[in-house]
Amino acid sequence: MAHELTEHIEAPDDFAPTADVVPPRGSRTAVVLDYSRRNPDLVIGLVMVLALILVGIVGPLFVDVRTAQPTRALPGQPPSARYPLGTDEQGRNLLAVMVVGLPLTIKVGFLAGFVGVGIGTILGLTAGFVGGAVDTVISMIVDIILTVPGLLILITIAASIKSFISVEVLALVVASLAWPRPTRTIRSQVLTLRERGYIQVARRSGMSTPEIILKELLPNLMPYLAATFVTAVSATILASIGLEVLGLGPQNDPTIGMTIYWAILFNALLRGMWWWWLPPIVAIVMMFVGLFLISSGLDEFANPRRRRIV
């Protein structure tokens, strides 16, 4: 009798499996497409930045990058079938300069941003979670550095090592002042997270401070750190281009900033050589717009209050 009754027992509707509770396998693509539809800023920004990166990857297959060096092409030529972006007064093919220079400029930004955010993450996590005298010392150092004109310090450092500066050295120079702001913002995030319930449970369970930081705090900060990294890359690229336009960049590398510097030095604007200065400016605008859209999209992902529903 009991066996017959159990055969006729039906599960309540509240416990019936639904598509919302247990998503079907292979739905990750649908989730990504749905999120892309709800967050077009991130998609457009990624497409713009990836397009610039692909120029440096695919470009050497179609352009002789050796013509990016001086005296390798006819000087002062306007755009033509032979030189689609023309040449400069130094005899460089400006299309080859863009193919070589874009990856170098992006490399400076990514390297400096990685170093700056890396240092800022370590200091911010330590100051925010440990607190006490450690927090006071780190916060005081950050506040002092933030009150000093950063560009003046960068100009002083770059000018003192101008004779042997390279792309990597320029990135480290810019990174030397790229960590205070991430340190402050990450510290403020940690101050709000360290009082959460799961952090208190981790403390009472006997986890050490490094374990709590690595296993509990850091994973929850990853979306915010990604947005901070993109913002730092944008800021470091801007700083590096500013130094290069002043002639304090790598003299032998055709970065975007150095291309603008040589155009200014040879009065390209007054001489009507628009093909010398316009393409680098267009690339810079495209780069910053793309990074801004990526940062905006990641910020929306990290901050639930900003998420849009379409």
Residue 20 dihedral angles phi and psi, to the nearest 5°: -75, -30
Residue 154 lies in a domain: yes
Given a cut of 70, is residue 111 above it in pLDDT? yes
Residue 159 lies in a domain: yes
**Where in the sequence is the domain holding 53, given as residue range(s)?**
40-60+85-306
Residue 139 lies in a domain: yes
Residue where the block lists tokens 């990597």: 168
Candidates 98, 99, 247, 94; CA nearest to 170 is 247
Segment 182-207, tens digit of pLDDT = 999 999 989 888 888 888 888 888 88
Residue 73 lies in a domain: no
Residue 3 lies in a domain: no
User: What is the tally of structural domains in the chain?
Assistant: 1
Percent of all residues in the chain with a pLDDT value above 70, rounded to a whole number: 85
At 23, the pLDDT band (50, 70, 90 cuts) reads very low
Residue 104 lies in a domain: yes
pTM > 0.75: yes or no: yes
At 309, the pLDDT band (50, 70, 90 cuts) reads very low
Dihedral, 61, 66, 71, 75 alpha carbons, nearest 10: 20
CATH code, domain carrying 263: 1.10.3720.10
Taking the C-alpha atoms of residue 145 and residue 138, their distance in angstroms, rounded to an integer, is 11
Contact indicator for 180, 245 with CB cutoff of 8 Å: no
Segment 279-306, tens digit of pLDDT = 999 999 999 999 999 988 887 666 655 5
Residue 130 lies in a domain: yes
Residue 251 lies in a domain: yes
Segment 57-95, tens digit of pLDDT = 999 999 999 999 999 999 999 999 999 999 999 999 999
